[in-house]
Structure 1
Amino acid sequence: MAKRPSKQSGHKAGALSAQITVPAFEVKQGDVEFFVFKLLASRLWPMVSINRRSETEDRGYQRVLSNARVEAVANHIRAGRPLPNNVLIALDKATFDAQAGTLTIPAGKDIGWVIDGQHRIAGAHEAAGDEDIELCVFAFVGVDQEFQIEQFVTINREQKGVPTSLVYDLLSHLPSRKRPADVANERAAEIANQLRNDTKSPLSGRIVVTQSPGKGQISITNFVRKVAPLVHPDRGALKVFTLPEQEQIIANYFSALKDTFSEQWAKADNIFLRTVGFGAMMNMFEEIFAIVLSAQRGFTVPDIKEVLKGMAHFDFSQWSLIGSGNKAEMEAAQEFRTDFNRSRAAAPSGKRIRL
């Protein structure tokens, strides 16, 4: 079996060591013809190539492969659920025998290119060790890259996603199909998309979806990882709030951090938007949220800044030296917590935060 799919950019080279012949049928639409056949995921992924878009050069057209999406597809298949969508590829060379009803694909490298469905193919291949499913493949033969890009753009520009609000409304009818953790992830992703697209949000343009985050940015995967537990429908600290309220709470929190630690926020490599800093401050969120609500009876930006003002001196420089991962985030959060508790204890009695 080929190497497990992983998040990657650039060209993914596929290869076929020996030619294969598969049952197929021809479909004609106007002046265009394509072929339909089925192939096991364990055979399809290794043979196809992916021409991914370069961030620095004018070449390629596919997005970066997302590990989270691949794993979601794989888990869907492992759970015994069907994946009825077709995938669309372009074969450089293939011959169709109309009398036999077969399509022969010759051996070689870069013999087939994925136009639509890279995450489905990769996820199905990921699950193949447990359940190797057949995928329905639509294949053009002998088409150039311009034609491939045209198909890719048409598919991705014209398709309309179901509104998330409708998905949430329908989830109650599928209790065995949608886990609370899935609902939390979807809700966190919706909050991320709202905040990154809202020009008034402190995270406007700061959350990236299709590429690796640069300085002053975080990935949507990282955002969802830390926010989903807060909006978990069973146990999240923000579960009782509506979606707009949850969005506003998160926005207010980061606006207050931006104002309180303005010098740090202004840096190109903003510590709050690095994995360790974002993780640490999200680890602190529930504590700060509870204290602000108790002391200020609200969670507006001024409310949060009033509670955090004693921390304006905090030195974040050490956070750059402790690495990344959950352990580093917990260590950074504990440093902040210790200083935070010290500053609260030292506050004048007349201004002491009420607990």
Structure 2
Amino acid sequence: MKIVCQKVIQNNVEFFIGKLCFEKLAKVAGINHRIISTFDDDGLPVYNDSFQRKVSTQRANDIKNYILSDQEATFPNSIILSLPSALMLEEIEDEGPPIIYINEEKINLDDKENPVYIQIIDGQHRFAGMKAAVEELSKLGVTDLLNKLLKFEFVVSIFIDAELDFQAMLFSTINRTPVKVPYDIVYDLFGLVEKDSPQKTALAICLELNSIKKDNNGKLSPFAGRIKLLGKKDKGASSYISQQIFIKTIITLICPSIRASEIERFKKRTDFVVGGTFKTIFRQFYAENRDNHIYKTLENFFVAVEETFVDQQGNSFWRIGETPDNPLQRTIGFLALIDVLIELFHIGVSEKKLSVDFFKSKLSKAQKISLLNENNETVYPYSSKGKSLLAEDLLSLILEDSPH
């Protein structure tokens, strides 16, 4: 099967837009309660049996009735497909319009135990409604309208080898509502909460740190209300740190990369004893089932940040609302401080100190760093370049004359 496409690049994400008539789409795409997470060395699908995003019969039936009753029924929004490269006949050529060739011989929608298909990330109800309409017309023998619907063209957006966490994020973003859609529900949809994994640990720590509760001394968590949950509309002060960024950041302190984490999430914790890098500071904690140490290290470090970087009145530059908008309240500040934490963690481990006081003793060397100019405007641009500059300046001050 040949699909002539246009390549689309949004931020760092590449996908392809094309069109498929329903007759062809129905031959290669399917709806199943299981999701294909990868393919093994023999080219056979590996399923995630925990995936439970079932089609609403009522919604599919409503769409079927719309198709059958309205001669001008249209669906301009694209159906989003996740295409494993294992189902492609050849790689996409760089020259000319992108053409995707589907290996139909590998598609098997009829196998109840091991079906192989292109997954529908979004648009499953449109697909199910059209399928129901076609089946009804076929039974009734209404050939004219049946042939018309078989040739009905759907716009399709095709993501090749989309990782599970990206599919979850994409699905939740498309389907979010004005009420909060917790990220753990999204992960649960894709079976990621059921099994122990770095993703599950990162999510649990994120939700715990973001909760509005006080410690024994009556102090709020340094992240209380600071992380913007997916689907949540902020009222008042912005949170600035998105849940997606926070979770991915914690994952990369356990796994060498997000891509590596997709492979490693199937591993046992004990397998994490090896394979770390300088940046994976929490890998050993995770391997030894000490998630509480990950949580406490993050809490101690950012409590130290909150108490160290203050103005002349003692108001924290970390806390939104206490001081003017500044880099420490933004995503670039969080990411720059994570770079600082990585360096200080290694020093702390060698000294057997990861307490609030330890972190404050180190951060105090950068206490006078200029975050704002005389007009209360940021000195560091809110960009990746600004993050790098802030991290470099903080580390330069903190590690100056350090024996480490």
> Where on the TM-score scale, by shorter chain, does this alignment land: which range?
0.5 to 0.7
CA contact (8 A) 2:253 2:281 kept: yes
Aligned to 2:208: 194
How big is the shift at 1:104? 5.5
Provide the residue aligned with 1:303 in structure 2: 358
SS in 2 for 1:125: strand
Partners of 2:304 and 2:359 within 8 A in 1: yes
Q: 1:274 to 1:217 in 2, by over 3 A?
A: same
Pick aligned residue for 1:203 from 219, 223, 243: 223
The offset of 1:257, in angstroms, is 0.5
User: CA 1:88 to 1:341, structure 2 compared with 1: closer, same or farther past 3 Å?
Assistant: same
Partner residue, 1:228: 251
Q: Given the superposition, is the C-alpha separation of residues 268 and 79 from structure 1 closer, same or farther in structure 2, using an over 3 Å criterion?
A: farther
Report the Cα distance in structure 2 between the residues aligned to 1:157 and 1:294, rounded to whole angstroms.
35
CA 1:267–1:193 in 2, change beyond 3 Å: closer, same or farther? Answer: same
**Alpha-carbon shift at residue 4 of structure 1 (Å):** 3.9
Deviations 1:147-172 (A, max 9, x none): x999x99xx9999938866412xxxx
For 1:252, the equivalent position in structure 2 comes to 300
Alpha-carbon offset, residue 320 of structure 1: 3.1
Query: Which structure 1 segments of 5+ residues have no match?
Result: 8-15, 37-44, 51-69, 113-120, 131-147, 169-182, 346-352
Root-mean-square deviation (CA), in Å?
5.3
CA separation in 2, counterparts of 1:243 and 1:230?
12
Q: CA 1:323–1:23 in 2, change beyond 3 Å: closer, same or farther?
A: closer
Instruction: Provide the residue aligned with 1:48 in structure 2.
Output: 77
CA contact (8 A) 1:283 1:333 kept: yes
Determine the structure 1 residue equivalent to 2:261: none
Contact 1:22-1:104 at 8 Å conserved across structures:
no
Letter in 1 for 2:206: A
User: In structure 2, do the counterparts of structure 1 residues 316 and 160 end up closer, same or farther at CA, with 3 Å as the change threshold?
Assistant: closer
Give 1:335 shift.
1.0
1:195-240: CA deviation from partner (whole Å, max 9, x where unpaired): 2235342112211132588744211232234332211143111111
Residue 310 and residue 33 in structure 1: after superposition, are their counterparts in 2 closer, same or farther (change >3 A)? closer
Contact 1:216 1:268 in 2 (8 A): no
2:90 alignment partner in structure 1: none
Number of aligned residues: 258
Q: CA deviation at 1:32?
A: 9.1
Distance 2:246 2:149 in 1: 43
TM-score (norm 1): 0.53
Give the distance between the partners of 2:335 and 2:59, measured in 1 at CA: 54
Question: Counterparts in 2 of 1:88-103, with a 5 A limit?
Answer: 88-89=125-126, 97=137, 98-100=139-141, 102=146
- Does the Cα contact within 8 Å between 2:59 and 2:125 map onto a contact in 1? no
Between the aligned partners of 2:340 and 2:184, the Cα distance in structure 1 is: 40
Correspondences of 1:267-282 after superposition (within 5 Å): 267=323, 269-282=325-338
- Tell me the TM-score normalised to structure 2 length: 0.48
Query: Is the alpha carbon distance of 1:289 and 1:35 closer, same or farther for their aligned partners in structure 2, counting shifts above 3 Å?
Result: same
**Correspondence list, 1:68-87, <5 A:** 74=82, 77-78=84-85, 82=117, 83=119, 87=124
Please state whether the residue corresponding to 2:140 is helix, strand or coil. coil
Instruction: Tell me: CA distance 1:246–1:103, structure 2 relative to 1, closer, same or farther (3 Å).
Output: farther
Query: Which of 271, 282, 288 pairs up with 1:238?
Result: 282
Give the whole-Å Cα distance in 2 for the aligned partners of 1:164 and 1:219.
19
Distance 2:20 2:192 in 1: 45
- Name structure 2 gaps, 5 residues minimum: 12-17, 27-54, 65-73, 88-115, 163-174, 215-220, 256-271, 312-316
CA-CA distance at 1:49 after TM superposition:
7.2
Question: Where in structure 2 are the equivalents of 1:42-191 lying within 5 Å?
Answer: 47-48=76-77, 74=82, 77-78=84-85, 82=117, 83=119, 87-89=124-126, 97=137, 98-100=139-141, 102=146, 125-127=157-159, 161=188, 166-168=194-196, 184-185=198-199, 187-191=201-205
Partner SS state of residue 126, structure 1:
strand
